[in-house]
Every structure is written in structure tokens, then in C-alpha cells.
């Protein structure tokens, strides 16, 4: 596809697939105890970060539908919260895949909820390392990230390194 022909919606969908891919990598294989791991009293534990990311995508969907609402969820048990995270990305992606009107601008949706989620994915990856369960580095520019693939079932890394 010619990059100049990519629509804003397609770019948002690719960004969501990127969050799912990178987020999946940061979450996969984390022990349940990781949910409450803290490096200081003023920091959010991973379980709260994942709950917040789910809230970000619920918020993004509400913006896209023209009925902006925010909810600050209490974390569910770890595996349920991880499932909710992927379900919230999927729900937003499913809406973007339709021809329904987009009530928020592409730029606002990217710079707000999506960019915030990418920041938190980075925090989770860093916390995995600090907690003693690091993930391997990867050349993400060649990763098989596909718009619409927003679940935990992601392609295997094509090029990892230490």
C-alpha cells in the first residue's frame, strides 16, 4: 500500500495493533505476583497500569462514538485484567473498522489514549526487567504487526536480541 494512501483510521488501527503486539510481549509470561510489584510507594503497580490502559481504550471508544466518558477502574485479578485490556483494544479497533462516524479527531485519539498506552507498555517492560522477569529486546520495525490483530494471540518475534 502506498503510505500516502493510508487513512487516519487505518493508521489508528495499526497503532492499536502495535499496542497489542508490544503490550502482549510485556504481559506474556509475567507471573501473577507481577500485578502488585512496586518500585516505590508513589508508583502504580502493573495491575493498575493494565487496568488504566483498558480504561484508556474504553475512553477512546467513547470519544469515537461521540459520548466521551471516563472510568477509573479498580484492577481485576491479573489474568482477567489482561483479558480486559485486549478486549478494550479490540472493541475500539472493531469500531474503527466500521464506517460509523469518528467523532474525535484522529490526531486527538492518537496523542491522548493511544500514546498514553504506549508509554505504559514501556513502563511494564521496564518493570518486568526490574522485577527479574525481563522480556527480550526486539527490532519492532520488522515485527509482523497487522491492523485488526488486537488480541493476545500475536505473531512470534521475528528478530529478538539481548
Q: Could you give the domains of the chain?
A: 3-161 (1.20.120.450)
Tell me the pLDDT band of 4, cut-offs 50, 70 and 90. low
SS3 59: helix
Q: What confidence tens digit (pLDDT) does each residue in 108-154 have?
A: 999 999 999 999 999 999 999 999 999 999 999 999 999 999 999 88
CA distances to 45, 63, 105, 148 from 99, in Å: 38, 15, 15, 15
Report the candidate in 20, 88, 84 with the shortest Cα–Cα distance to residue 58. Answer: 88
Helix, strand, coil distribution of the chain in percent, nearest 5: 60, 0, 40
Place of cell 470519544: 63
Q: What confidence tens digit (pLDDT) does each residue in 39-56 have?
A: 999 999 999 999 999 999
Distance CA 117, CA 54 (A): 9
Other C-beta atoms closer than 10 Å to the C-beta of 83 total: 16
DSSP H stretches of helix in the chain: 8-27, 46-64, 78-96, 106-109, 115-130
SS3 54: helix
pTM here is 0.93
**Average pLDDT for the chain:** 94
Amino acid at each position: 500500500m502506498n503510505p500516502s494512501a493510508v487513512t487516519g483510521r487505518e493508521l489508528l488501527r495499526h497503532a492499536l495493533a502495535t499496542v497489542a503486539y508490544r503490550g502482549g510481549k510485556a504481559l506474556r509470561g509475567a507471573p501473577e505476583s507481577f500485578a502488585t510489584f512496586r518500585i516505590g510507594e508513589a508508583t502504580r503497580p502493573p495491575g493498575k497500569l493494565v487496568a488504566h490502559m483498558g480504561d484508556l481504550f474504553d475512553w477512546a471508544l467513547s470519544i469515537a462514538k461521540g459520548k466521551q466518558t471516563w472510568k477509573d477502574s479498580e484492577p481485576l485479578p491479573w489474568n482477567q485484567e489482561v483479558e480486559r485490556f485486549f478486549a478494550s483494544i479490540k472493541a475500539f479497533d472493531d469500531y474503527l473498522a466500521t464506517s460509523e462516524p469518528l467523532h474525535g479527531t484522529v490526531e486527538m485519539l492518537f496523542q491522548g489514549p493511544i500514546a498514553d498506552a504506549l508509554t505504559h507498555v514501556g513502563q511494564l517492560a521496564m518493570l518486568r526487567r526490574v522485577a527479574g522477569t525481563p522480556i527480550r529486546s526486539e527490532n519492532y520495525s520488522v515485527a509482523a504487526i497487522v491492523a485488526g490483530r488486537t488480541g493476545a494471540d500475536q505473531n512470534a518475534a521475528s528478530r529478538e536480541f539481548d
